[in-house]
């Protein structure tokens, strides 16, 4: 029996007899010649069934194959520039064929389907070319982030998913019944990272996070994945250096490894090639001035209303989009008003109405992909904020403890995987960036 190979490696087996195992992506042909586009998860290859070269029953089997039938193909690899496939350029001359399962009529056909239909069939949709390409890019983006951090001496330290208290703010908490007591799904792993830096110096956590957010925007998921680095003895400026290098590395790795996928997705890669350090850094004050100038420049009343902002207000999507539109690369906006940010952020010395926070806004309208800050390391100030926000001291005793035993200036950030993937792939909605999206009105399949 010939050697089983994966399609991605096909070029190494020219003129050899191999075995492929996979699913029928499509079948065309007439009479004595059948073309089967086979996918095996690693790629796609055209397999040619030629009546004269096969047993009659095998050829009949090939002729009757339906979309998504599972088969095992034995054949010879032939170089052929015109052969379609991923990577393409090679085809298989089928010698023999085994049927594993003949698929029923497959609901997803090459014709157009509505998004709701596709999302309802997500368990099957993940097999389609475009979804295959996006989820492969997602895996690389996650790996690139982790590789970058691992190389920089960060330690992966896992943080809990079930938590006793809010990590960000109380309005988006997802409550679960913990043996009769209230507990919450993690909004962030940050607070635990802050404990872990005193043990390891530089850490990150990576996992699913939850926000019971009643938003139906193209940027919001109920369950999303966040990677959160935290660094002891780190300033906001140093934090921006880290974010910038990591994001540039992630984009460079995607470009290096996924030309094929980016082409399937239809991404303009020139825009990605521009993503190199440094990224512009502007203060919230300047951002508001720039937005007000944009508002004054337009005659369109709808646009004017969209861009309207007063100092002190948080940015909405149109503001982030407009700001990021002024740059070809991601842009940092730092020192947001303290009132619109989380309870743990350090106030700016001498100007407590703003805090040592920084968001990274992605270009091309993608908005915030990273949120980060310097954390309050003074015990009393932090305790005061916890009280002021009505968070309840009890659940935060451990967090306050960290400010009693070798408290140091520290900073960290969280990068949303799905928003990053949406930007890098140039997608209009985050729902395609995660295998099984949890949205306001969707938890199936």
Query: Residue with structure tokens 């984009």?
Result: 251
Residue among 118 and 417 whose Cβ is closer to Mg ion: 417
Q: Provide DSSP, 367-399.
A: EEEEEEEEBP--HHHHHHHHHHTT--GGGGHHH
Residue 80 found at the interface with ligand 4AD (CB under 6 A): no
| Among 90, 132, 206, 224, contact with ligand 4AD (rule: CB under 6 A) | 224
In the numeric block, which tokens belong to residue 394? 């009890």
Residue 194 found at the interface with ligand 4AD (CB under 6 A): no
- Cα–Cα nearest to 209, from 231, 232, 198, 193: 193
Residue among 330 and 372 whose Cβ is closer to ligand 4AD: 372
| Among 91, 194, 228, 432, contact with ligand 4AD (rule: CB under 6 A) | 228
Question: What residues from 346 to 385 belong to the interface with ligand 4AD (CB under 6 A)?
Answer: 368-372
What string marks each residue from 360 to 379 as x (binds Mg ion by CB under 5 A) or -? -----------x--------
Measured at the CA of 249, the angle between CA 246 and CA 250, to 5 degrees, comes to: 85
Residue among 58 and 368 whose Cβ is closer to ligand 4AD: 368
Q: Provide DSSP, 238-268.
A: HHHHHHHHHHHHHHHHHHHH-HHHHHHHT--
| Among 197, 221, 251, 331, contact with ligand 4AD (rule: CB under 6 A) | 221
Cβ atoms of residues 322 and 357 within 8 Å: no
Cα R_g (the chain), whole angstroms: 26
Cβ atoms of residues 334 and 240 within 8 Å: yes
Give least dist CB 435 to Mg ion, A.
24
Residue 167 found at the interface with Mg ion (CB under 5 A): no
Residue 168 found at the interface with ligand 4AD (CB under 6 A): yes
Measured at the CA of 190, the angle between CA 185 and CA 195, to 5 degrees, comes to: 115
Rounded to whole angstroms, what are the CA distances from 101 to 24, 69, 97? Answer: 11, 6, 12
Segment interacting with ligand 4AD (CB under 6 A) among 147-155, 221-229, 281-289, 392-400? 221-229
What string marks each residue from 403 to 422 as x (binds ligand 4AD by CB under 6 A) or -? ---------xxx-x-xx---
Question: What residues from 176 to 215 belong to the interface with Mg ion (CB under 5 A)?
Answer: none
Contact partner at residue 213 from ligand 4AD, Mg ion, none, CB < 5 to 8 Å by partner kind: ligand 4AD
State the angle between helix axes of 236-257 and 417-425 in degrees (0 to 180), rounded to the nearest 10: 50
List of residues contacting ligand 4AD (CB under 6 A): 168, 188, 190, 211, 213, 220-221, 224, 226, 228, 368-372, 412-414, 416, 418-419
């Amino acid at each position: 029996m010939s050697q089983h190979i994966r399609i991605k490696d096909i070029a190494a087996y020219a003129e050899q007899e191999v075995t492929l195992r996979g699913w029928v992506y499509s079948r065309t042909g007439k009479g004595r010649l059948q073309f089967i586009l086979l996918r095996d998860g690693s790629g796609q290859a055209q397999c040619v069934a030629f009546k004269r070269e096969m047993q009659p029953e095998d050829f009949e089997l090939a002729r009757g194959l339906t979309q998504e039938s599972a088969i095992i193909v034995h054949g010879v690899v032939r170089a052929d520039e015109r052969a379609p496939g991923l990577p393409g350029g090679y085809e298989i001359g089928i010698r023999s064929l085994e049927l594993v399962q003949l698929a029923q009529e497959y609901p997803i056909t090459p014709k157009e389907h509505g998004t709701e239909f596709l999302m309802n069939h997500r368990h099957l949709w993940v097999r389609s070319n475009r979804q295959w390409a996006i989820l492969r890019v997602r895996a690389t983006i996650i790996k690139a982030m982790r590789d970058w951090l691992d190389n920089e001496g960060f330690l992966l330290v896992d943080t809990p998913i079930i938590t006793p208290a809010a990590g960000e703010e109380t309005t988006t908490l997802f409550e679960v019944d913990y043996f009769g007591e209230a507990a919450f799904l993690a909004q962030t792993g940050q607070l635990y990272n802050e404990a872990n830096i005193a043990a390891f110096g530089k850490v990150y956590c990576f996992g699913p996070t939850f926000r019971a957010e009643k938003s139906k925007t193209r940027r919001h998921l109920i369950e999303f994945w966040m990677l959160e680095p935290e660094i002891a003895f780190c300033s906001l400026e140093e934090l921006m250096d880290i974010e910038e290098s990591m994001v540039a590395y992630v984009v460079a790795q995607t470009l290096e490894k996924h030309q094929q996928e980016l082409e399937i997705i239809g991404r303009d890669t020139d825009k990605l090639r521009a993503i190199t350090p440094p990224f512009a850094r502007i203060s919230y004050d300047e951002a508001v001035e720039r937005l007000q100038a944009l508002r004054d420049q337009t005659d369109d009343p709808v646009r004017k209303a969209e861009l309207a902002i007063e100092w002190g207000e948080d940015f909405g999507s149109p503001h982030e989009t407009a700001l990021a539109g002024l740059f070809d690369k991601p842009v940092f906006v730092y020192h947001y008003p303290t009132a619109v940010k989380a309870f743990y952020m350090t106030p700016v010395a001498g100007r407590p109405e703003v805090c040592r926070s920084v968001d990274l806004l992605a270009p091309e309208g993608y908005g915030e992909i990273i949120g980060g800050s310097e954390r309050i390391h003074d015990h009393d100030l932090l305790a005061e904020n916890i009280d002021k926000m009505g968070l309840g001291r009890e659940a935060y005793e451990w967090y306050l403890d960290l400010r009693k035993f070798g408290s140091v200036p520290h900073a960290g950030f969280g990068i949303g995987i799905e928003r990053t993937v949406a930007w890098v792939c140039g997608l209009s909605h985050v729902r395609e960036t995660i295998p099984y999206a949890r949205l306001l009105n969707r938890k199936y399949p």
